[in-house]
Amino acid sequence: MSFELQGKIIEISGIQVITDKFKKREFIVECKDNPEGNYTQYLKFQCTGDKCSILDTYNVGQMVNISFNLKGRRYEKDGRVSYYMDLEAWRISNANQNTLPGNGYPETNSYTKLEEDASEDLPF
């Protein structure tokens, strides 16, 4: 599932090398739930592999547009099952190039689903 979100970068971590073939870089984005800015959300995103370098040109405090996928997985150990979800960023662009309202946030929800609504295909 692909989504897009606009927000302000408040933290960027260094690259973490997990294995010889896997590395990741995390960053935190502040965004608003509504145009009035009543509800602030802090979301942790990650970039993996060669996408880790896309954060090199961005700074804390900068407004950005983020294209990302939801990644979920199941993990089982010692008979216990856990579920994890990651917000995996695959594109970041400077949001200051867009015209925004006075509070610096979009007038609609801070996130937008990019794929078409699959519910139209359901038989009920």
CA distance 51 to 102: 32
Any idea where the domains of the chain sit in the sequence?
Answer: 2-106
Percent of the chain with pLDDT over 70: 77
Residue 104 has pLDDT above 80, yes or no: no
- Mean pLDDT, residues 28-38: 85
What does the pLDDT read at residue 1? 73
CA distance 59 to 12: 8
CATH of region 2-106: 2.40.50.140
Mean pLDDT of the chain: 83
Question: 3-class SS at 16?
Answer: strand
- What is the number of other CB atoms lying within 10 angstroms of the CB of residue 88? 16
To the question of pTM greater than 0.85 for the whole model, the response is no
